[in-house]
Chain A
Amino acid sequence: MTKVPHTLAEWRAGRYLFDMAKRIILILLAVVSISFAGTTPELGIHDKTPTVKAFVNARIVQSPARTIENGTMVVADGRIVAIGGSVTVPGGATVFDLAGKTIYPAFIDPVTEYGVPNAERPRRRWGEAPRYEAERAGADAWNDALHPELNWVDEFQPDSKEADELLALGFATVQSARLDGILRGRSTVVTLGEGLPNDLILKAYGRQFGSFDKGSSEQQYPSSQMGAIALIRQTLLDTDWYDKAQSAYSRNPAQKAPETNRALEAMQGVRTDGMVFETANALEILRADRIGREFSVPMIMIGGGNEYTRLAAIKQSGVDLILPLEFPETPAVKDIGDEYDVTLGQLRHWEWAPFNAYLLDSAGIEFAFTTHGLKNTKDFWKNLRTAISCGLPAQTALAALTSVPARIAGVDDQVGTLEQNKLASFVLTDGDLFDEKTHIYSVWVAGEKRHEEIKLDQVDFRGNYTLQIDHRAVTLKLTGDITKLSGKIEIDSATSMTLTDISIAPDVIAFSAVLDSLGMDGTTRFEARRSENGLVGFYVSADGGKHQWSAERIETAADEKKKKTPEEEPPSRISRLTSPNIAYGFETPPTQQSVLITNATIWTSDEAGVLENADLLVQDGKIRAIGSDLEAPSGVLTIDASGMHVTPGIIDEHSHIAIAGDVNEGTHAVTAEVRIGDIVDPEDIAIYRELAGGTTAAQLLHGSANPIGGQAQVVKLRWGAGPEAMKMPEAPNGIKFALGENVKQSNWGERYTVRYPQTRMGVETIIRDAFQTAREYEQAHEQFGKLGKGDRERTIPPRQDLLMDALVEVLNSNMFVHCHAYVQSEMLMLMRLAEDFGFRLASFEHVLEGYKIADEMAAHGVGGGSFADWWAYKFEVYDAIPYSPALMSERGVLVSINSDSPEQGRRLNQEAAKSIMYGGMSPEEALKMVTINPARQLGIDRYTGSLAVGKDADFVIWSDNPLSMYAVAQQTWIDGRKYFDIENDHKMRETLSQEKSELVQKVLKTGESSGRKDRGGPGGPKPYSGQYDDAFDLWIGAGEGGYYHD
């Protein structure tokens, strides 16, 4: 039997040419028998049209790396049977002479919804209660956003309208799935051919598709990105459990059968198949990658267009990328004042986005392109050419449209390159594919012409002709595009008449003209065909007389055009790339410095107290010495801080900055499974602003919409770092609880009255029930763990439940509970409940009636994370008093003052100072409420929160007494790195404003300005700008009930 060449080198050696000739004959014989392979009965006459075609004299781009200058491709039954420079055309083949033409592998779009039905978007039904349960049908998943069991091959129907759109762009193959929900089902890979679905499928069961977006699901959960992540994580755990449970049951049917779950069955292969995951930006890629790594699921990411901002991290992740070819709208800056609506980040992204593909390629990251995400499919070629003009090599562009998506879609054995045995799906052009002047003549799918832009025998009529008419010689000029001509008849350089109604068929041209300058009446109509040396035809004059005419060709239009085309300036960038890529981002991250601060008033927040005229030595990110007259070791930067004050970095124990998406998974009453750590957003300008107020660390908390909320994340405000590098791994885990009006939905509107609990009584019981169940859950796991190996395999294991896991951690005192609470009754309740279950609460948040039960709190050992003076914004805070922090402190409660607000998070020193006026606290104690006390509440006091030898060098230099209204932070340091410097800040303002002006000028120069909607997007402002206040905690993320709170 014939050997197939395995490498191009073998191929080139021509070793198989002889074999191949024999092989072609065999294949041609086989064609007849293959046609008996279909199951669908033919009800009429059997179609036996020969399918053998030979494309000769073509320039064949087989793959991005290999081109045959004058080649032949033989196709039979849709497949390439031979391809090369010296292939023999078999007798009986239909021959297509492609002299002057080029063929390329047709494109593959790895992300489409081609041929699958659209999702029904949720209907808005005002006044209807929120829906917490799924619409169950079949043995499906508990959540409507999860339908991994759907196989889109089951729904696939070719759609000629959609196909035509994609074919016109050069695509012949697509991967299709409905892009709706979190687990979206398995794609199917199909050609854009005609016929039965059965005959168009290249890969019936493609990869599972996923996203963070619940899409058309009307079920409440999940309402946030962290909820979506938790849901994916739990589903992947359940997938493993399901397998174990089923096999245990099959080994031992004498036990209660585990549930049947088609969704979990469908997920079984996801580790080998991988998942195609849709993201909105580079940070989401990193988030999805983390889940992929956790469960060893290979991830292919659909990007959001700003991958260039995180090249190193994306490169390191090693994920495959699919890039939408959409660029941001040109910002509208026409009118004075418009520029304030556009951020520098948005302007930068507008400028940089077209370079994204080029920059990814330069960084060695492979990607495919997709039409998905294009607002207008017609922009595809324009944007592709823009990307190339921005430096993307044409070869990479071709790979991104052919070989890479073929591999991603798992069909690289069938399409993606033009090689023997692959499908004859190709694009036929008259030149280099990416050249603006090149025409796509036709697009072929599996050997059939599916789209034709220009016929192969189209005559190029363009050129100048000497036209003989009415016994006079004039010049006929035909210019423009080969299929769209314009023209005129010139008597001399001063006198000409424009042609109208020009129409062309492949070999006929017709047009009309008013030839008054030639003294002819009315409109004259012309028609002609190509002759040996020009045109020959007839014209009909105004009087109806039909006359013959001819024209002799002088010069070709193409030649003329070539001369005229001016060199276009290659695009360039004027804006900077910073981390994060918005105003005030770092061009280079701050480095760790050895520094000696001298002659300062040092507030240690430690036993040493306040030291006058003291020095602080920092080395390797740690505090090395504090005292007087310290010697500066060589190479140490000395800062003379005479008249200045130095304090520990301020710690905000209750913050919601730097969180991507919703702060609340405000749906279920218990959401212990969600984690803020999954959605840390290092691109929030609030981080920089808080550094400017001396804040160096924060606990990022879940909102207060649920009695048991999500897990917290302690971060240092390392501006410019990635999401993982902001985290403080040494901090103990924490979780947010909440009580009172928010969790009983008192102020959510009349629709929200169906969720348990609606009273403070129910708040107690739902928490009690959760912990009771968690204890039983832990016991069940322990019992299972005690079984011998054999028994374990025969017993259905208890399922691992992330929600319960978190509660078990609380029960075992491995997770700190930080509970939003206002009134004394509910705080007493939770303390007693915790005591019943044998754990201690870490802190009450806001704790407005803490002063009423200070002794009880001290006895329990719970801290108070208080507002300084908030009250009266809702009924449960009507008894709040600003003396509470002082009174609690006096009675031995560990009190911190925190912000709950990106505004107050910048000046917690002032909030702390309020306890000096309300309750007479000493300044030193007041400062502790925003330094060491919150550090202790968070369990990070060994590392930060006070100035002591060996601790992290997190500190602030102030212009004045830090408890005074007049103190301004001059420098803020974390780990011995300077993250804020007021002098640098002032310098940066200048450069940023100049950069913005230059970008605005650049936008104005492009002359484009759009009125289309382009919401948010990379570099844009966060969706809030004001105080969160308690209402923010509650509302943001409360689904459609939520509102933007100023």
Chain B
Amino acid sequence: MTKRILNLVALLALVLSGAASAHDYVPGAPQSQPILLKGGDLYTVAAGVLPHTDLLFENGRITQIGPDIIPPENTNVIDISGKRVYPGLIDMATTLGLIEIGEVRATNDQTEQGRVTPEVTAATAYNPDSELLPTVRSNGITTVLVYPGGSLIQGRSSLMNLDGWTREDAAEKPVAALHVTWPRTRIVTAWWMQQSPEEQKKENAKNRDELSKAFEDAHAYYIAKKADPSIPVDLRWEAMLPVFDRELPVIIYANDYRQIEQAIAFGRKWNLRFIIAGATEAFRALDLLKEHNVPVIVRRVLDLPPGQDDPYDAAFTLPHLLHEAGVPFAIATYSSWASRNLPFHAGMAVAFGLSKEEGLRSITLTPAEMLGVDGEIGSLEVGKKATLVVAAGDILDMMSHRVEMMFIEGKSVDLNDRHKELYEKYQRKHWSEDK
């Protein structure tokens, strides 16, 4: 008890002194013995729901799925009858590990100075000991895409597992995508806007030119480098080389219809492997997205409509509309601590038309596909990593949501967190006062 308080004091001191804070939960050890999850309902995503089916994983990978698996020797058999197994949930946009407390500047490492900073990588600053991480994984999220902030070319995101000793062993894919924010197209007439519509249009065009220029320069570097690998290294354009080889996807943050339209044209012009993210007005661009086969990352389903005239449920129905139009999509929270509500964003989409299967897919397999890690995570399939969650109820519904076990690459993850600790601690205060 005293030790815990001392820890807290030490923690506060650390935070106040500007250092990043650290949580106390020990990362899982590499899987040393086979584990058989027996008799659960498997929400495989890849092959529907398999009721009362066993799942065996060894050395971090799923080795068998089926009824009545005969476990190898030394298997830890866990009876999970009546419970559900889900692939670990993936949040395609968080600042976890980069921002501890938004208002405390010293704990914020999200946005580098400058408008064109493709050279920075999120994983570099990722704090695997952030107190926020355990609270997020408690709700079934195993993996998050951590992205750098910025106004034009933000930098490169990293796909991180929410359990690990260091940023290196936590990384699922340290360099996952290049992030671009599409310049504003909307004309703002609110009281705080100082620029006239004409001035705004000019400014918006200027920003687009700046973005184009960066890509032109990067491409010039790409051509020159191909011809002569010994040219002087420009860190910015070096970071963008795999973009022109279509190795590194480009996630373009574009919300309103015009941004989406322009971003699609841009992506096609440069022959990028690109994804439209944000996409709050994607319901106005369904044909366009389908025609060019552009996947979408939906920014928050639990959100207001983009415009005053838009239906109250515009954000709730967007995933359903995308699905009906045949546009692949993932759902992301664009948040830090609130990443833990990821499953409920998908749940809301289900309340407004999407099927539960598609709701689950949008926070598991589709994100994995977007980042090219669908061979590793995102569904329950033999050969894939044992990154999965055991829950007592429907993971998309907070009324029955109850995550009981989590494995990341077969490692058993401690589901304790700061909130449970404090809950337990203060229950003791009150119980003792009862005496």
Binary contact track A577-610/B, C-beta < 8 Å → 1, others 0: 0000011000000000000000000000000000
Binary contact track B164-194/A, C-beta < 8 Å → 1, others 0: 0000000000000000000001111111110
Chain B residues 236 to 289 lying within 8 A of chain A, measured CB to CB, are 256-258, 261, 281, 284
- Whether B257 contacts A337 by the Cβ 8 Å rule is yes
- Interface pick from A60-68, A255-263, A553-561, A866-874: A866-874
Task: Please tell me if B69 contacts chain A, counting CB pairs below 8 Å.
Answer: no
Q: Which residues of A sit under 8 angstroms from B430, Cβ to Cβ?
A: 854-855, 887, 891
Chain A residues 1004 to 1021 lying within 8 A of chain B, measured CB to CB, are 1010-1017, 1020-1021
Nearest-CB distance from B389 to chain A (Å)? 14
Assuming the contacts A872-B101, A883-B423, A910-B398, asked whether A1020 and B257 have C-beta atoms less than 8 A apart, the reply is: no
- Nearest residue (CB) in B for A964 is B399
Assuming the contacts A916-B399, A919-B423, A1044-B190, asked whether A685 and B103 have C-beta atoms less than 8 A apart, the reply is: no
- Whether B281 contacts A340 by the Cβ 8 Å rule is yes
- Whether A985 contacts B397 by the Cβ 8 Å rule is no
Task: Please tell me if B401 contacts chain A, counting CB pairs below 8 Å.
Answer: yes
- Whether A965 contacts B102 by the Cβ 8 Å rule is no
Chain B residues 300 to 319 lying within 8 A of chain A, measured CB to CB, are 302-309, 311-313
Q: Which residues of A sit under 8 angstroms from B309, Cβ to Cβ?
A: 343-344, 582-583, 992, 996
Nearest-CB distance from A656 to chain B (Å)? 14
A374 to B33 alpha-carbon distance, docked (Å)? 81
Nearest-CB distance from B220 to chain A (Å)? 32
A358 to B415 alpha-carbon distance, docked (Å)? 69
Chain B residues 396 to 435 lying within 8 A of chain A, measured CB to CB, are 396-399, 401-402, 418-420, 422-423, 426-427, 429-430, 433
Q: Which of B191, B351, B352, B401 is A1023 in contact with, Cβ under 8 Å?
A: B191
Task: Please tell me if B155 contacts chain A, counting CB pairs below 8 Å.
Answer: no
- Whether A341 contacts B189 by the Cβ 8 Å rule is yes
Task: Please tell me if A914 contacts chain B, counting CB pairs below 8 Å.
Answer: yes
A1012 to B200 alpha-carbon distance, docked (Å)? 11
Assuming the contacts A874-B103, A919-B423, A1025-B304, asked whether A1014 and B189 have C-beta atoms less than 8 A apart, the reply is: yes
- Nearest residue (CB) in A for B307 is A340
- Nearest residue (CB) in A for B198 is A1011
- Whether A1023 contacts B190 by the Cβ 8 Å rule is yes
Binary contact track A882-919/B, C-beta < 8 Å → 1, others 0: 11000100010000000000110011001001101111
- Whether A1016 contacts B308 by the Cβ 8 Å rule is no
- Whether A873 contacts B337 by the Cβ 8 Å rule is yes
Interface centre among B305, B309, B347, B397 (most CB of A within 10 A): B309
- Nearest residue (CB) in A for B186 is A341
- Whether B304 contacts A1026 by the Cβ 8 Å rule is yes
- Whether A887 contacts B423 by the Cβ 8 Å rule is yes
Task: Please tell me if A407 contacts chain B, counting CB pairs below 8 Å.
Answer: no
Chain A residues 136 to 174 lying within 8 A of chain B, measured CB to CB, are none
A583 to B305 alpha-carbon distance, docked (Å)? 13
Nearest-CB distance from B92 to chain A (Å)? 19
Nearest-CB distance from B431 to chain A (Å)? 10
A134 to B201 alpha-carbon distance, docked (Å)? 41
Q: Which residues of B sit under 8 angstroms from A345, Cβ to Cβ?
A: 308
Task: Please tell me if A332 contacts chain B, counting CB pairs below 8 Å.
Answer: yes
A555 to B418 alpha-carbon distance, docked (Å)? 97
- Whether B399 contacts A872 by the Cβ 8 Å rule is no
Q: Which of B15, B102, B190, B341 is A1015 in contact with, Cβ under 8 Å?
A: B190
Task: Please tell me if A800 contacts chain B, counting CB pairs below 8 Å.
Answer: no
A913 to B351 alpha-carbon distance, docked (Å)? 15
Task: Please tell me if B387 contacts chain A, counting CB pairs below 8 Å.
Answer: no
- Whether B423 contacts A873 by the Cβ 8 Å rule is no
Task: Please tell me if A76 contacts chain B, counting CB pairs below 8 Å.
Answer: no
Task: Please tell me if B336 contacts chain A, counting CB pairs below 8 Å.
Answer: yes
Nearest-CB distance from A655 to chain B (Å)? 14
A336 to B284 alpha-carbon distance, docked (Å)? 12
Nearest-CB distance from A404 to chain B (Å)? 32
A981 to B263 alpha-carbon distance, docked (Å)? 38
Task: Please tell me if A775 contacts chain B, counting CB pairs below 8 Å.
Answer: no
Chain B residues 96 to 146 lying within 8 A of chain A, measured CB to CB, are 100-104, 131-132
A338 to B186 alpha-carbon distance, docked (Å)? 8
Nearest-CB distance from B83 to chain A (Å)? 15
Task: Please tell me if B348 contacts chain A, counting CB pairs below 8 Å.
Answer: yes
Nearest-CB distance from B56 to chain A (Å)? 29
Interface centre among A344, A345, A875, A906 (most CB of B within 10 A): A875
A1021 to B187 alpha-carbon distance, docked (Å)? 12
A852 to B419 alpha-carbon distance, docked (Å)? 12
Q: Which residues of A sit under 8 angstroms from B344, Cβ to Cβ?
A: 910, 965
- Whether B402 contacts A917 by the Cβ 8 Å rule is yes
Task: Please tell me if A537 contacts chain B, counting CB pairs below 8 Å.
Answer: no
Nearest-CB distance from B265 to chain A (Å)? 13
Q: Which residues of A sit under 8 angstroms from B308, Cβ to Cβ?
A: 343-345, 582-583, 685, 1021-1022
- Whether A903 contacts B419 by the Cβ 8 Å rule is no
Q: Which of B311, B341, B351, B423 is A967 in contact with, Cβ under 8 Å?
A: B351
Task: Please tell me if A455 contacts chain B, counting CB pairs below 8 Å.
Answer: no
A685 to B185 alpha-carbon distance, docked (Å)? 24
Task: Please tell me if A449 contacts chain B, counting CB pairs below 8 Å.
Answer: no
Q: Which residues of B sit under 8 angstroms from A1010, Cβ to Cβ?
A: 197
- Whether A913 contacts B398 by the Cβ 8 Å rule is yes
- Whether A1013 contacts B197 by the Cβ 8 Å rule is yes
A474 to B280 alpha-carbon distance, docked (Å)? 71
Task: Please tell me if B350 contacts chain A, counting CB pairs below 8 Å.
Answer: yes
Task: Please tell me if B196 contacts chain A, counting CB pairs below 8 Å.
Answer: yes
Q: Which residues of B sit under 8 angstroms from A998, Cβ to Cβ?
A: none
A533 to B100 alpha-carbon distance, docked (Å)? 94
Nearest-CB distance from B136 to chain A (Å)? 11
Q: Which residues of A sit under 8 angstroms from B361, Cβ to Cβ?
A: none
- Whether A340 contacts B257 by the Cβ 8 Å rule is yes
Chain A residues 715 to 772 lying within 8 A of chain B, measured CB to CB, are 741, 746-747
Q: Which residues of B sit under 8 angstroms from A1044, Cβ to Cβ?
A: 190, 192
A963 to B423 alpha-carbon distance, docked (Å)? 23
Task: Please tell me if A961 contacts chain B, counting CB pairs below 8 Å.
Answer: yes
- Whether B185 contacts A337 by the Cβ 8 Å rule is yes
Chain B residues 66 to 107 lying within 8 A of chain A, measured CB to CB, are 100-104
- Whether A332 contacts B350 by the Cβ 8 Å rule is no
Assuming the contacts A965-B398, A1023-B192, asked whether A869 and B340 have C-beta atoms less than 8 A apart, the reply is: yes
Nearest-CB distance from B218 to chain A (Å)? 28
Q: Which residues of A sit under 8 angstroms from B307, Cβ to Cβ?
A: 340, 343, 1021
Binary contact track A962-989/B, C-beta < 8 Å → 1, others 0: 0111111000000000000000010001
Interface centre among B101, B284, B305, B312 (most CB of A within 10 A): B312
Q: Which residues of B sit under 8 angstroms from A582, Cβ to Cβ?
A: 308-309
Q: Which residues of A sit under 8 angstroms from B197, Cβ to Cβ?
A: 332, 1010-1013
Task: Please tell me if A612 contacts chain B, counting CB pairs below 8 Å.
Answer: no
- Whether B398 contacts A916 by the Cβ 8 Å rule is yes
- Whether A965 contacts B104 by the Cβ 8 Å rule is no
- Nearest residue (CB) in A for B418 is A881
Task: Please tell me if A534 contacts chain B, counting CB pairs below 8 Å.
Answer: no
Nearest-CB distance from B430 to chain A (Å)? 6
A1025 to B192 alpha-carbon distance, docked (Å)? 13
Q: Which residues of B sit under 8 angstroms from A871, Cβ to Cβ?
A: 337, 419
Query: 21 A-B pairs, CB-CB below 8 angstroms?
Result: A340-B284, A341-B188, A851-B426, A870-B338, A872-B337, A875-B15, A878-B131, A881-B419, A881-B423, A883-B422, A887-B423, A910-B344, A910-B398, A916-B398, A917-B401, A961-B399, A965-B399, A968-B352, A1015-B190, A1020-B189, A1031-B103
Residues of A within 8 A of B (CB): 332, 336-338, 340-341, 343-346, 582-583, 685, 688-689, 692-693, 741, 746-747, 851-852, 854-855, 869-875, 878-879, 881-883, 887, 891, 902-903, 906-907, 910, 913-914, 916-919, 923, 960-961, 963-968, 985, 989, 992, 996, 1010-1017, 1020-1023, 1025-1026, 1031, 1044
Q: Report the 10 A-B pairs with minimum CB-CB distance, sorted nearest first.
A: A965-B347, A1011-B198, A874-B103, A883-B423, A965-B397, A337-B258, A881-B419, A1013-B196, A583-B309, A872-B337
Given contacts A340-B306, A1015-B193, A1022-B308, 6 further A-B contacts (CB under 8 A): A337-B257, A344-B308, A693-B312, A910-B348, A965-B397, A1021-B189
